[in-house]
Chain A
């Protein structure tokens, strides 16, 4: 096997030729999609480094999931004041053409009659489209009707932050991994355990006599959040693990809540009638499918954007010039979102600072003497990377736009006259590789004979 591979490579190597190196100038403007904490942090960072930046937000105002944070309000203020950042609200990306350094995007902005399309030119793209709270209709096999008594952790947090007299109920059960880790979504949302522990502590702070029970699979208060977990236990919050083959049963009858579960310490089933049940639900990415198709960047099975390399290139996407940060990449707490936004803008600033990018030399190449001008290639090219030009005899000939070409080879494989060849993958090179592979069969036959 390995010998076949090496023999084939050597056979090809005999025919490889140097390819010219090309550089393309970069438009020193950034496009950030998503105006939450991550997007705003990234946009401000680009601006602080002296680059113009378009910030596109789907909703009416900036802020994303954490509009209420004082820090978010500060960021919104800074973004609005910054002359280098142009904000588009009620805006969505419709179309993007081009390549690193020279993107051109069509954005619709405004609503109804005021809606208009604008074209933005930019050199890089940072995706910060975020995620939203997941609201599973079934939790651990129990159909759930959200109400004042059955809430999500974010709703509980809001209630606890309010001024209501009975905002911290006398008894509350929290259900961890509600809809996560194989229940409905397949993944862990990373932040729900810490949020639940924080809320449990707040309940205890407002109403120290409240009975708080947290039903969990694994408590994931990683890092320093472990201190909060310990504090919660010291303050009397009960943490009871459940197994997926013996899940808690949640029901509501005549306005009365009932939660029953197996207590592994008592080794017995326990039933409770809490005043409130809080679901620790996970998060789901915001419409990554559309953007993934528009920008030709992949998503994972869980629909988060898939980075170019998990360890070594954690904020770059496989398409050059496209970066990701925040919850669109994966669930994470706000400090990690900010660090990632700073990383994405740092990486994105690299081509902007340099002012040029080097294009991979492997591109398609049209032999104009053989081309018959049939236009088959221009119609097939998925990247609009082939244009028709006239030769000196005024005959139409195909020509590759080198910077747009992604070297997919569709044009070369469809050209009826073999006028198109791919740099580094010419017919001659590939044929010699195939011939070299076949040679083993002959050798074996000879041995057998």
Chain B
């Protein structure tokens, strides 16, 4: 995302709806409307001060409604664009014309309530549809007491519970009474392979994500008893069977059964299931996770009508086996889950294919003819001369709780500050986020840094990103050193008792990390 955000050739239009699409391959016109975010993206520094002053609470949609946020907020630190947003459904000024506390609070005067929806017409050569997937209806989930008991959660909610930026900062807790669940059940094929809710298809990804979530939960609490109830385990992807084997070796139980129902039972949940031998059994659980499938996106029909391509009987985009990335309308392509449920590698593959050669191949040289028109080449400031003085800046990253839960990050950062040549040191929650890149650039300029050390995750994935920022700040990218305190420290020592200053562990009540 950050890479896309940096590219001078990608204009990101969030909060935007497609109104109409006309034309032919190589020459489309799209009318769009961009809804106001009431914050000037160029001015907002994503400092977060506004959120702390905003007096109104609202449900945090990004965290699946499991905790609260304010109408003025950003979904998560690495969001792109790294700009806050005011939710018009709950903002006191936008609903009742009162308040406006945030306006004087904002130091960079980025808040602008006068913004109006803006209509624009884009001239484009080809279109890629990638609206993703939708949600399984609550009606289907209600069969498993979802909505009746707070400890029946969807796998997406459970993912948020496991996440360090989630509602319990990475601790898995029952929503009913905040206890750490000891017995957890996963029910597979909820909303998939189910003609009861008209979803006859298999969602392809749920077996694998259930295994992943179960493994992470088990990492959080090795004592947790986790059972996955399934019809068939579909780990058909590359190396996926090996993942299931690892899960079994870790003690995660797989039971081939059909779950009949889930009923509240004292402070527990009672799960009734039938196995192949015709027996019915029931087991108590603290928490039940519904492995929800991928539904077609809610605006699928609208998009199809606007653009004039066909949907299949499940309301996903209709494609041909031999032209898997082309919609039924020439010049319009499809990538990702809208092209049928699929996992991340497959989606990334499809998007590359759709963006490049998919278009070229099918539209017979469309790209060849128009290649290079309107492209912006990124330029960097001239590299600054290095003086004799060594001026090192050290940046230590928490990586949420990935590093922060094991390593004493503030301690490390202070420790670095005492070293010869270090003129600036700091810590950050996510050094890779877009706003952290801005901070890095500023600090290089402010303190005239000529060497940068970042202690964070793996240079394999993140070195190019930081080096790009160095180049933006007029430093040669080789004046950079990266320390991998995640793979080479926090991950290695993650399970050592006493090494965690605060907790992602279940079982003990830990104070929340700062």
Which residues from chain A sit less than 8 Å from chain B, CB to CB?
Answer: 1-3, 5-14, 16-19, 21, 41-42, 44-46, 48-50, 71, 181-182, 186-188, 190, 193, 218-227, 230, 241, 264-265, 267, 300, 302, 304, 309-315, 329-330, 334-336, 338-347, 349-350, 353, 361-362, 423-424
Question: Which of A48, A350, A362 has most chain B Cβ within 10 Å?
Answer: A48
From residue A219, how far is it (CB to closest CB) to chain B in Å? 5
Bound: A327/B233 CA distance, A: 22
Interface size bracket, B side: 35 or more
10 A-B contacts (beta carbon < 8 Å): A1-B493, A7-B419, A17-B386, A18-B475, A48-B360, A48-B364, A48-B367, A188-B240, A343-B351, A346-B356
Instruction: Let me know if B204 and A346 touch, CB within 8 A.
Output: no
Instruction: Let me know if B361 and A342 touch, CB within 8 A.
Output: yes
Beyond A10-B421, A343-B351, list 11 extra A-B contacts (CB 8 Å).
A7-B416, A9-B453, A10-B419, A18-B475, A41-B361, A45-B358, A188-B235, A264-B276, A265-B277, A311-B348, A350-B356
- Given A2-B455, A226-B200, A300-B239: A9 and B483 within 8 A (CB)? yes
Bound: A16/B477 CA distance, A: 11
Instruction: Let me know if A342 and B201 touch, CB within 8 A.
Output: no
**Which 5 A/B pairs are nearest by Cβ-Cβ distance?**
A346-B356, A18-B476, A342-B353, A45-B357, A343-B353
Chain B residues with Cβ below 8 Å from A343 are 349-353, 356-357
* Residue of chain B at shortest CB distance from A308: B460
From residue B257, how far is it (CB to closest CB) to chain A in Å? 12
Instruction: Let me know if B345 and A311 touch, CB within 8 A.
Output: yes
Instruction: Let me know if B345 and A220 touch, CB within 8 A.
Output: no
* Residue of chain B at shortest CB distance from A353: B371
- Given A314-B345, A349-B357: A188 and B277 within 8 A (CB)? no
Instruction: Let me know if B276 and A241 touch, CB within 8 A.
Output: yes
Bound: A261/B342 CA distance, A: 34
Instruction: Let me know if A46 and B357 touch, CB within 8 A.
Output: yes
Instruction: Let me know if B193 and A226 touch, CB within 8 A.
Output: yes
From residue B6, how far is it (CB to closest CB) to chain A in Å? 16
Bound: A343/B347 CA distance, A: 11
Chain A residues with Cβ below 8 Å from B461 are 309, 312
From residue B207, how far is it (CB to closest CB) to chain A in Å? 9
Instruction: Let me know if A13 and B421 touch, CB within 8 A.
Output: yes
- Given A13-B421, A222-B202, A329-B238: A342 and B276 within 8 A (CB)? no
* Residue of chain B at shortest CB distance from A187: B241
From residue B426, how far is it (CB to closest CB) to chain A in Å? 13
Instruction: Let me know if A349 and B368 touch, CB within 8 A.
Output: no
Bound: A313/B422 CA distance, A: 36
Bound: A16/B314 CA distance, A: 58
Judged by a CB distance under 8 angstroms, whether B478 is at the interface is yes
Bound: A310/B343 CA distance, A: 11
Chain B residues with Cβ below 8 Å from A6 are 394, 396, 412, 415-416, 453, 455, 483, 485
Judged by a CB distance under 8 angstroms, whether B451 is at the interface is yes
Chain A residues with Cβ below 8 Å from B488 are 1, 5
From residue A246, how far is it (CB to closest CB) to chain B in Å? 13
Question: Which of A8, A14, A193, A334 has most chain B Cβ within 10 Å?
Answer: A14
- Given A18-B383, A314-B345, A361-B478: A347 and B352 within 8 A (CB)? yes
Instruction: Let me know if B324 and A335 touch, CB within 8 A.
Output: yes
Instruction: Let me know if A19 and B478 touch, CB within 8 A.
Output: yes
Question: Which of B276, B322, B419, B480 has most chain A Cβ within 10 Å?
Answer: B322
Instruction: Let me know if B365 and A50 touch, CB within 8 A.
Output: yes
Instruction: Let me know if A18 and B237 touch, CB within 8 A.
Output: no
Bound: A351/B247 CA distance, A: 41
Instruction: Let me know if B236 and A220 touch, CB within 8 A.
Output: yes
- Given A3-B415, A226-B200: A345 and B233 within 8 A (CB)? no
Bound: A3/B483 CA distance, A: 10
Judged by a CB distance under 8 angstroms, whether B283 is at the interface is no
Chain B residues with Cβ below 8 Å from A50 are 365, 368, 371
Chain A residues with Cβ below 8 Å from B195 are 230
From residue B132, how far is it (CB to closest CB) to chain A in Å? 16
Chain B residues with Cβ below 8 Å from A341 are 353
Instruction: Let me know if A304 and B241 touch, CB within 8 A.
Output: no
Bound: A63/B202 CA distance, A: 31
Instruction: Let me know if A346 and B202 touch, CB within 8 A.
Output: no
Chain B residues with Cβ below 8 Å from A14 are 390, 392, 420-421, 451
Chain B residues with Cβ below 8 Å from A221 are 202
Instruction: Let me know if B239 and A187 touch, CB within 8 A.
Output: yes
Chain A residues with Cβ below 8 Å from B312 are 224
Bound: A300/B239 CA distance, A: 9
Interface members, chain B 184-211 (any A CB < 8 Å) = 193, 195, 200-202, 204
Instruction: Let me know if B204 and A223 touch, CB within 8 A.
Output: yes
Bound: A344/B193 CA distance, A: 32
From residue B320, how far is it (CB to closest CB) to chain A in Å? 8
Judged by a CB distance under 8 angstroms, whether B232 is at the interface is yes
